[in-house]
Amino acid sequence: MKLALLLAGLALQEGQHPGPDSARVDTFLNAVRAADPMICEMVADQVGNFWTSYGDHGVGILADGSRAWEESRDSLYRTPADPAALRRLARGLDDPNPCVRRIAAKLLGQGDTGPGVQVIRDGLRSPSPRVREAAALAARHSEAPVLESALLAATRDPNPAVAAMAAYALGALERPEHVGRMSELTRHDEARVRRAAAHTLGQIEDPRVPPALVPLLRDRDEGVRVLAAEGLGETKHPGSLDPLLGALADASAGVRAAAAEALGHLELPRAAPALGRAIGDRDPRVRIAAAEALGNLEGLEQAPPELIAAAGSTDRDLRQAAVEALGNISDPRAIDALGRLLGDSDREIRGAAVEALARIEDSRVTPYLLRALRDSDPEIRKAAAAALGERK
Amino acid sequence: MLDWLLNYAAHSTLLLGAAWIISARARSHHIRETIWKAALLGGLVTATAQTVIGLTPVAGTVTIAAPAPVPLPFEAAPPDRSSTEAPLPPQPSASRPPPEPGVLPAGWGSFDWRGAIVPVWLLIAGFLIAGYLARRALLARRIEGRRPVMTHPLADLLATLTEEAGIARPIRLTASARLPSPIALGRSEIAVPEAALTELDPDQQRGMLAHELAHLERRDPAWLTLVAVVERVAFFQPLNRLARRRIRESAEYLSDEWAVGRTGSGVFLAKCLAKVAEWMDSCPSPVPVAGMAEERSHLVARVRRLLDSTPFPTGPRGRTLAIVAAVAVLAVAAAVPGISLAVNPGQDSGSQDEPGLRIENQDTSRAIVRALMEATRDSDAGVRRAALSSLARFEDPSTVATFREALRDQDAEIRVVAIHALAEFKDRGSVGAIAALLTDENTELRRAAVQALAELPAGTARNELIAAIRDSDAEVRAGAIHALAELKDPAAAGALTAALKDARAEVRAQAIEALAELELTEAPEGLIAALRDPSAEVRHAAAHAVGHYQDARAVPELRAMLEDADAEVREAAVEALSEIRTDAARDALIAALKSRDPKVRRAAADALGARKE
């Protein structure tokens, strides 16, 4: 009885704000199908975003911008109730155009109850691998608990694309129960399946996750190693430290950068010397990731000399990362290096240098703050004036 | 220290140069002497006033840009093969645009010349002072064997002169064969060559002694020592030599004048001078003390002057001149721009463990205060605000003027910060300016102003505070009332009584409390009506106030209040009744013994017990 009332209420709400009808779905899917692939991907990215904020109360609308289409647009981010519209979307999961399949999956996955979920469940059982893969993607967006067992089954799909997408979809649920299955998948022959498993393991908080991810740091696939490093960073488990330190020597720059970033997430100060050395990496991404990571280490009081030196780098982004990290470390030995940055041509860096100097409790900072008080930028003068007040 | 030296060099050049020009036009040696002495010491005073005491000159401070420190190579170069990064050079000074990355600022070597100035100065000054002391020691050795002259007629002559001049302290007279000319020593000794005892006739002796006595009376020995020390310490100022010469010259001329005034004629003194000149030929080494004839070139001029029949030029004397000179020096201290070197970052690194750290900290603190004071005149309001807030934390009395100035800032928030800071300083001088802000359109500002005036001796702001009782903002009204209560000025009673009709209960309550604070001779009108106020807070305050004034007219109301809905009001009513020593009040207290409120019953019992009837 109660359920009937609830459903009636839902129906009433849906009546006020109906999902798209079949004509609307047709128009939309046809339009993206005919569009340039780049346009289609951009639309696919936007599906499910809350568009209404655009031009609120007419602000930001170009002159003569008619808003008649708003109602139909808004209908698109509600799950369709119209059976005909649902059939159109189900067919969309089998579209030859992957972008259209992706859009159909996202539209179907906009709710975790209702008739859309049933369409996804049916899709997972489709004879077509293309449909099963798209349905798994829809299931990821839906996050409907009722789809969990179907997704687990799909991880055993003979088609690796389906198995990978199913493993990826389970990551959205972040359930420790899946660690075992994911650990098995880390030994899958297909790299894309192992990547999905590594990614999903990184989402789950469980003590069994780090031991499952560590071996993946030596995977032959670069993407798997990157995702394993990222996942280990998310675990915040001290046991992840040494394997990640080892990954700083990976042949791939992407892996080294991911390992540096992950070490920053671990926040263990013991990583400081290795991260300091990583500032000398030949790849700029690794250098910046290492500098940023050093700023995240918990209770680090002494900045590695490489970080202090990086404050004088010609790479603007590295300077910025270094000065911000030094601001978190508050090491008096960095005073002069930070002081030199007060002459930087980039106002953001000068500002960050003042902020960093302000946090160091040492009398040698004062002359630099006095100098910053004469900066050409008022915000920097202001920060210096405020910081000098702390140096009574 | 470096700032002081720079300031001294600039100020002394200015003052001594001015003295040179002005003194050339002055005929009176009194004026000349005062000008030179003021100029010589003035530089010390003004430089000290600006750098040590932190006096801000009207003309501001001229900052010399700091030379760029040459960047150090990295302690450890990053082990990065591809890195060809050069360290960014620091900006030479904030006033110049930053140089292109990779371009080293040219000109300055790695040697920081400014760090060497102070030590080099100390070294040379120390050397010169040592030389001076050595010369003094030499003189002392030379006249070590001098004998006191007691029985000689010269001693009687001196006694007569001393008495005539009204000098109370005994003046020692000594003679030495090794002196070329008579000298005045210290505070009270005249040393003469042995020859003076025999070769001069009594009139000449009289002239000589009068001259030396004049030196002692004018404290010339002390002055000349001081001048000699200043000349050596500030050796880099060549004009000091000139000043010393001129002061010495004037000292001789003025002593001659004095002697002529005492002895009636310059002829004998002139003859004596001629004699002294003969002695000096046989003993040419001069002595660095006030004497009679150290520099022969002046002797001729002096003799001519003594024999000239025209009277000595007169002018203002003594105290007047000293006051004029002191005012002039202070004016210079306040007006001449100060000089400071821009801070050179990194220069003072590694000084953490030195014993002089405390003093250095004071210097730093002073430098911060000075820089923040400058930043309070920034073009950006945010900077001014931050600088002023920071400055307030130093609680440095020398910054008061800056906060007074900030009261006129366009930014209301800045004015609020200034008001609070001036209240913290208890700055009597800004009461008027803060009171003037009570009519500002900004409410926060008016609130801050009344708060500050409550903490300041704001007697002169009474009328403005009374006007603020009619402010549109209740907090301002209450604050003004509070400030008036602090004044304890009965003249505010009328305005405070009017405030009892304020629309806001907290203002009415505040007014009642203030009326109690005023200690009026009789209870103000309106308190009884306030006992019936709809607000419990007001009734409570009113009960307290009528108790304070022991207003017997309030007893019926107070009696009714024993049944007030508010417990605190009931208690206040009992307390007020216990203050009022009338039978009606006693009866009311007796009635209160039957109150339903046990606290009221107990308080009434206590009050009745305390009456001792």
Q: Where are the alpha helices (DSSP H) in B52-152?
A: 113-142
Query: Cβ of A336 and B389 within 8 Å?
Result: no
How many residues in total does chain B contain? 613
Average pLDDT over residues B561-571: 91
B281/B275 Cα distance (integer angstroms): 10
> Length of chain A in residues, anyone?
392
**Which amino acid would we find at residue A105?**
A
In percent, the amount of chain A with pLDDT more than 90 equals: 74
d(CA A377, CA B509): 50
Q: Per the domain annotation, does B594 fall within a domain?
A: yes
Determine the Cα–Cα distance for residues A163 and A128; give it in Å rounded to an integer: 13
pLDDT band at A36 (very low <50, low <70, confident <90, very high): very high
Q: Between β-strands B189-193 and B172-176, what pairing exists: parallel, antiparallel or unpaired?
A: parallel
- Name the closest residue on chain B to residue A305, using Cα atoms: B76
In this prediction, residue B166 has a pLDDT band, given cuts at 50, 70 and 90, of confident
B375 contacts A389? CB cut-off 8 A: no
Q: What tens digit of pLDDT does each residue of B530-557 get? A: 998 999 999 999 999 999 999 889 999 9
Q: Which long-range contacts (CB under 8 A, 24 or more apart) does B46-52 make?
A: B46/B7, B46/B11, B46/B15, B46/B329, B46/B332, B46/B333, B46/B336, B47/B4, B47/B7, B47/B8, B47/B11, B47/B12, B48/B4, B49/B333, B49/B334, B50/B7, B50/B333, B50/B338, B51/B3, B51/B4, B51/B7, B51/B338, B51/B340, B52/B4
CB spacing of A382 vs B386 below 8 angstroms: yes
Q: Please, which pLDDT band fits residue A322 given cuts at 50, 70 and 90?
A: very high
Cβ contact B509:B539 at 8 Å: no
- H helix intervals, B143-238: 153-165, 194-199, 202-217, 220-233
Largest CA distance in chain B: 117
Query: Is the separation of the CB atoms in A373 and A381 below 8 Å?
Result: yes
Q: How far is the C-alpha of A107 from the C-alpha of A142, rounded, in Å?
A: 9
Is any Cβ of chain A less than 8 angstroms from the Cβ of B414?
no
Out of A279, A313, A378, name the one closest to residue B382 (CB).
A378
Assess contact for A321 and A306: CB atoms under 8 A: no
* Average pLDDT of span A23-29: 92
Q: Are B595 and B570 in contact (CB under 8 A)?
A: yes
Q: Are B41 and B15 in contact (CB under 8 A)?
A: no
- Return the pLDDT at B97: 44
Contact B364 A279 (CB under 8 A): no
Tens-place pLDDT, residues A292-307 = 999 999 989 899 999 9
Report pLDDT for B79.
Answer: 43
For position A14, what pLDDT does the model report?
47
DSSP for A215-284 reads GGGG-SSHHHHHHHHHHHHHHT-GGGHHHHHHHTT-SSHHHHHHHHHHHHHHT-GGGHHHHHHHTT-SSH
pLDDT confidence band for A180 (50 / 70 / 90): very high
Q: Determine whether the interchain pair B75/A309 forms a contact, defined as Cβ–Cβ distance below 8 Å.
A: yes
**What is the C-alpha separation between B415 and B432, in angstroms, rounded?**
14
Query: What's B531's domain CATH number?
Result: 1.25.10.10
Residue B461 forms part of a structural domain:
no
- Residue type for A301, please? E
The pair of three-digit structure tokens given for residue B389, joined into one six-digit string: 């807030």
Domain span at B547: 526-613
Tell whether B572 is covered by a domain. yes
CB contact under 8 A, A344 and B98: yes
DSSP structure class, residue B206:
H
Alpha-carbon distance of A191 to A194, in angstroms, equals 5
Burial of residue B141, with CB atoms counted within 10 A of its CB: 0-12 exposed, 13-18 middle, 19 or more buried: exposed
Cα-Cα-Cα-Cα torsion B341, B346, B350, B351, nearest 10 degrees, comes to: 20
Tell me whether residues A340 and B87 touch, CB distance under 8 A: yes
- Chain B positions touching A313 (Cβ under 8 A) are 83, 85
pLDDT in tens, B512-524: 999 988 878 888 8
Residue A163's DSSP bridge partners are none
Chain B residues with CB inside 8 Å of A340's CB? 71, 87-90
Pairing of strands B183-185, B189-193: antiparallel
User: Which pLDDT belongs to residue B346?
Assistant: 37
What would the two tokens of residue A316 be?
């603007």
Residue B583 lies in a domain: yes
Question: DSSP letter string over A321-340?
Answer: HHHHHHHHH--GGGHHHHHH
pLDDT, mean of residues B376-392: 92
Looking at residue B202, its pLDDT comes to 81
**Partner residue facing B75 (CB), from A305, A340, A371:** A305
Least confident residue range of A157-171, B89-103, B165-179, B200-214: B89-103
Mean pLDDT of B559-576: 91
The torsion angles phi and psi of B191, rounded to 5 degrees, stand at: -110, 130
Give the B window 359-378 contacts with A, CB below 8 Å: 360-361, 364-365, 367-368, 371-372, 374-375, 378
Q: How far apart are CA A178 and CA A186, in angstroms?
A: 12
Measured between beta carbons, the chain A residues lying within 8 angstroms of B86 are 312, 314
Q: Chain A contacts of B71, Cβ < 8 Å?
A: 312, 340
Tell me the domain boundaries of chain A: 18-42+80-155, 174-300
pLDDT at B233 over 70: yes
Q: Which of B62, B68, B73, B64 is nearest to B98 (CA)?
A: B68
Count of structural domains, chain B: 1
Strand B147-148 and strand B172-176: the pairing is antiparallel
| Architecture of the domain made up of A174-300 | Alpha Horseshoe (1.25)
Residue A285 in this model has a pLDDT that exceeds 90: yes
Q: Would you say residue B483 lies in a domain?
A: no
Q: Which two tokens stand for residue B483?
A: 């400030």
pLDDT of A304? 94
B342 falls in which pLDDT band (50, 70, 90)?
Answer: very low
Secondary structure element (H or E) that encloses residue B485, with its range: helix B474-487
Token couple for B145: 């064997």
Q: CA triplet B318, B321, B322: central angle to 5 degrees?
A: 80
Minimum mean pLDDT among B208-217, B417-426, B571-580: which range? B208-217
pLDDT by residue (tens digit) across B277-289?
A: 777 665 544 455 6
**At CA B484, angle to CA B482 and CA B487, rounded to 5?**
115
Beta strands B61-64 and B189-193 are: unpaired
Inter-chain residue contact A373 with B344, CB threshold 8 Å:
no
Q: Which residues have CB under 8 Å from A15's CB, separation 6+?
A: none
Kindly provide the residue ranges of all beta strands, DSSP E only, lying in chain A, ordered along the sequence: none
What are the E-state strand segments in B217-331? none
Coil, strand or helix: which one is B173?
A: strand
Question: Cα dist. B97→A343, A375, B210 in Å?
Answer: 9, 10, 69
Cβ of B390 within 8 Å of Cβ of A315? The answer is no
* Planar angle of CA B448, B450, B452, nearest 5 degrees: 65
Q: What residues of chain A lie within 8 A of the CB of B351, using their CB?
A: 364
Give A305's contacts in chain B (Cβ within 8 Å): 74-76
Query: Which long-range contacts (C-beta less than 8 Å, at least 24 apart) are formed by B142-145?
Result: B142/B176, B142/B178, B142/B179, B142/B287, B143/B174, B143/B176, B143/B178, B143/B179, B143/B191, B145/B176, B145/B178
Q: Could you give the angle at the alpha carbon of A332 between the alpha carbons of A330 and A337, nearest 5°?
A: 95
Tokens standing for A64? 């003569």
User: Could A279 and B82 be called an inter-chain contact, meaning their C-beta atoms sit closer than 8 Å?
Assistant: no
Who among A342, A367, A369 is closest to B348 (CB)? A367
B368 to A366: CB separation less than 8 angstroms, yes or no: yes
Contact B68, B347 (CB under 8 A): no
**CB contact, 8 Å: B550 with chain A?**
no
Residue B387 in tokens: 């600088």
CB B465 within 8 A of CB B491: no
Express each pLDDT in A334-380 by its tens digit.
999 999 999 998 999 999 999 999 999 888 899 899 999 999 999 99
Q: What was the pLDDT predicted at A77? A: 77
Is residue B189 within 8 A of residue B171, CB to CB? The reply is yes
